[in-house]
């Protein structure tokens, strides 16, 4: 399964690309239901695509997320507690040293600046990674 969490309207274009190529995506526009899904552990989460800056919902505080500027980083940490092998793409409007510093020790996290992302190319990258991870999962290597 692929988790997609972004509160911005233009994300629907990327979701369309993922659906068109037949990927199983669970999409959310707010943190609370996304975290409920993650923590349920009902399905193995192979990939997560998470916006960095978004409202915190009730699950996270403004204080801990730097007024919502780093919400996605805290979502990432919650994903890690249930899905340690999940590949996580953090989407951001601006690349920052603080963001890079916070995730530099996790080799399964990739930062993508939204203005540099072409939806069709990114969807193809996600498809390739998903197919590889699905094969590993089926063999019990994930």
* Strand 87-92 versus strand 47-51 pairing type: parallel
Tell me the pLDDT band of 52, cut-offs 50, 70 and 90. Answer: confident
Q: How far apart are CA 56 and CA 128, in angstroms?
A: 31
Query: In CATH, what number is assigned to the domain containing residue 132?
Result: 3.40.50.2300
User: Is the model's pLDDT at 79 over the cut of 60?
Assistant: yes
Q: What is the predicted pLDDT for the residue at 54?
A: 85
Report residue 8's pLDDT band, with 50, 70 and 90 as the boundaries.
confident
Average pLDDT over every residue of 39-65: 81
Q: What is the pLDDT of residue 103?
A: 85
Q: Is 57 exposed, middle or buried (0-12, 13-18, 19+ CB in 10 A)?
A: middle
- pTM of structure: 0.88
Q: What pLDDT is attached to residue 25?
A: 94
DSSP assignment letter at 75: H
Domain count, the chain: 1
pLDDT tens-digit map of 26-42:
999 999 999 999 989 88
Mean pLDDT to the nearest integer, 111-138: 88
- Label residue 95 by pLDDT band (50, 70, 90): confident
Q: Sorting pLDDT into bands at 50, 70 and 90, what band is 127?
A: very high
Per the prediction, the chain carries an average pLDDT of: 85
Range of the structural domain that residue 111 is part of: 2-138
């Amino acid at each position: 399964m692929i988790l997609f969490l972004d509160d911005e309207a233009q994300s629907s274009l990327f979701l369309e690309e993922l659906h068109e190529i037949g990927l199983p995506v669970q999409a959310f526009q707010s943190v609370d239901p996304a975290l409920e899904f993650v923590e349920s552990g009902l399905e193995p989460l192979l990939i997560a695509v998470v916006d960095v800056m978004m409202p915190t919902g009730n699950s996270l505080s403004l204080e801990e997320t730097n007024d919502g500027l780093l919400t996605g980083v805290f979502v990432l940490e919650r994903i890690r507690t249930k899905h340690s092998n999940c590949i996580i793409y953090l989407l951001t409007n601006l690349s920052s040293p603080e963001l890079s510093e916070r995730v530099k020790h996790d080799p399964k996290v990739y930062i993508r600046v939204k203005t540099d992302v072409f939806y069709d190319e990114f969807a193809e990258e996600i498809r390739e990674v998903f197919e590889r991870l699905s094969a590993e999962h089926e063999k019990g290597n994930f």
